[in-house]
Amino acid sequence: MECPDCGESYVSREVGPRWPPSTQFGDAIVDLEDGESAVLHRQCWTCGWSEDRHLTVTEIETEHGDPEAITHQQQLTQLVNELEQIDDTEVVKEILRDVRNRRSADIEPTGSEDGE
Ligand SMILES: [Zn+2]
């Protein structure tokens, strides 16, 4: 990505607080526990611009062991690409809700009364 301030591309991206900085942001989100926050820290090495973005897992569903988890992760990868274009936390939260809604929409409505 390019720095929104000076346009240079020397922008580092780190995930925290409990993941190694090299962790993919999508992986960190999938790994989040309920109510836990991830921080995406970005810093420009040219002009010193930096930004911390906090995301909380309550906006999405994590289902470990679910076959859909792979699809979930793919969606999150796309989500991260979108996140890099956006500087407003509220917009990011809306995207997370949208991902959740899209997951629901992917499931064929086979009837709400099939007992299982
Ligand atoms: Zn910069």
List, edge to edge, every strand of the sheet that includes 50-56. 11-16, 37-44, 50-56
pLDDT of residue 60: 46
Q: Whole-structure pTM over 0.95, yes or no? A: no
pLDDT of residue 51: 86
Rounded CA gap, 85 and 88, in Å? Answer: 10
Which residues place a Cβ less than 5 A from the ion ligand 1?
3, 5-6, 44, 46-47, 49
Instruction: Tell me the residue type at 23.
Output: T
pLDDT of residue 47: 96
- Measured in angstroms, how far is the CA atom of residue 9 from the centroid of ligand 1? 8
Tokens of 25: 């942001």
Consecutive 10-residue averages of pLDDT for the chain (116 residues): 86 84 71 73 92 66 56 64 63 64 58 53
- Measured in angstroms, how far is the CA atom of residue 62 from the centroid of ligand 1? 34
- Measured in angstroms, how far is the CA atom of residue 30 from the centroid of ligand 1? 30
